[in-house]
Amino acid sequence: MDARDWDERYAARELVWSATPNQFVEAELGDLPPGRAVDLAAGEGRNAIWLARRGWDVTALDFSQVALDKGATLAGDTAVTWVCADATRWSEPASYDLAVLAYLQLPAEERRAAVRSAFAALRPGGTLLLVAHDTTNLAEGTGGPQDVRVLMTAEDVLGDLADEAGVVVERAERVSRVVGDGHGEEPARTAYDCLVRVRRA
């Protein structure tokens, strides 16, 4: 899907994603001291807004202007810088304490470009957190993209950074996420994500 397709998708619904942060973003980053953060492929900004409300100076970047406009409305008085740009082509010098890539599902070459750009934007000591639908989710889990080409494992993501200097791996594994609450007609189901957290030495 290109930016126009995503603009149409975001325009068709009040919220495509939830207004609350992703559970892994919240769990992994809740204890980090605030600094400067970039949320790449931020969509409607749920993670960016959560970070900003915790004191971070946040840039939310997405190639859908419709998503960014919705995020700005959702943020209200919360200060977030909204930037319309493609995460696979964006680059900035090492000036961030945190880069977040949450559910940016792309073919390997494009994913590698986004991951490497995100890592390159970190200051020494900065953290990159990536969460995405795991390759095993296709056969073992529920929901998510049904195209194996845009799925990944933690090992794939670490491979994207294999020739980068200063990569300190803090966590890289498959994690499970419960979808639904088990009440009503639909039972609770399990989805599988990959989670990678690295620090720049």
Q: Does domain 3-200 have CATH number 3.30.1490.20?
A: no
Residues 108 and 83 sit within 8 Å (Cβ to Cβ)? no
Other C-beta atoms within 10 Å of 80: how many?
A: 24
Question: How many Cα atoms occupy the beta-carbon half-sphere of 154 within 13 Å?
Answer: 16
Supply the pTM of this predicted model. Answer: 0.92
Residues 25 and 54 sit within 8 Å (Cβ to Cβ)? no
At 46, is the secondary structure helix, strand, or coil?
A: helix
Sign of CA dihedral 50, 56, 57, 61: negative
Q: What is the pLDDT along the chain (201 residues), one digit of tens a residue?
A: 565 755 466 555 666 556 689 999 999 999 999 999 999 999 999 999 999 999 999 999 999 999 999 999 999 999 999 999 999 999 998 999 999 999 999 999 999 999 999 999 999 999 999 999 999 999 999 999 999 999 999 999 999 999 999 999 999 999 999 987 655 566 889 999 999 999 999
